[in-house]
Amino acid sequence: EAGVTQSPTHLIKTRGQQVTLRCSPISGHTSVYWYQQALGLGLQFLLWYDEGEERNRGNFPPRFSGRQFPNYSSELNVNALELEDSALYLCASSRSTAVRDSNQPQHFGDGTRLSIL
Amino acid sequence: QKEVEQNSGPLSVPEGAIASLNCTYSDRVSQSFFWYRQYSGKSPELIMSIYSNGDKEDGRFTAQLNKASQYVSLLIRDSQPSDSATYLCAVRSRNQGGKLIFGQGTELSVKP
């Protein structure tokens, strides 16, 4: 079974540019999550999509946005890049956790390492 | 107070010893608890999940959960040098849907 796949693996951008990161979940998984792992800051929750809808959003500015497609793949868009956006961006997927007491574990992709110059 | 706290380490144990990793959380309605292992430069890998009070064993790994004390731990028996990694504790609250809240991680070093 293929795992979560992310593209690209590495990206170098300059301040003010825009970037789109992509994620394909494990087959059968409908929930997709995005996390940011900046140096020394740990994993911070960005966004959660389930069945095409944004379900929850972390404490990030509106220039971080995304969407989920009918095939459950997802994109993360970051506009007006800033130096502090340099981080590893991780996508995870699980079976649906939209049900209140769902305990589905999340499985991570290899991430996209974004460097802002 | 951080929502999920772990000892930052590094924790150093000799090969063959038991490594004990600890995690406390602040949200009393937390319902799901996960341990991930992250090798340097790699993404987190799920190694254990636990949802009920008590112990859960999987091979050399045992997760322990005490909801009254808001405490979850991971024991690694017969530690191997290949276990050297950062271990992340993650918690899901009943009130926050699918969102996981991660601790800062504990770096484990197993010395041959």
Is the CB of residue B9 less than 8 Å away from at least one CB of chain A?
Answer: no
What is the SS3 assignment for A74-88? EEEEECCCCHHHCEE
What DSSP state is assigned to residue A106?
P
Alpha-carbon distance of A95 to A79, in angstroms, equals 29
Q: Do B49 and A103 touch (CB under 8 A)?
A: yes
Alpha-carbon distance of B45 to B57, in angstroms, equals 17
Task: Write out pLDDT tens, residues A9-55.
Answer: 999 999 999 999 999 999 999 999 999 999 878 899 999 999 899 99
Dihedrals phi, psi of B51, to nearest 5 degrees: -125, -20
- Nearest-Cα distance to chain B for A84, in Å, is 18
What DSSP state is assigned to residue B29?
T
What count of CB pairs under 8 Å joins A to B? 70
Task: Write out pLDDT tens, residues B72-109.
Answer: 999 999 999 999 999 999 999 877 777 899 999 999 99
β-pairing, B106-111 with B85-93?
antiparallel
Chain B hits for A56, Cβ within 8 Å: 96-99
Partners of B110 in the β-ladder: B13
- Nearest-Cα distance to chain A for B84, in Å, is 18
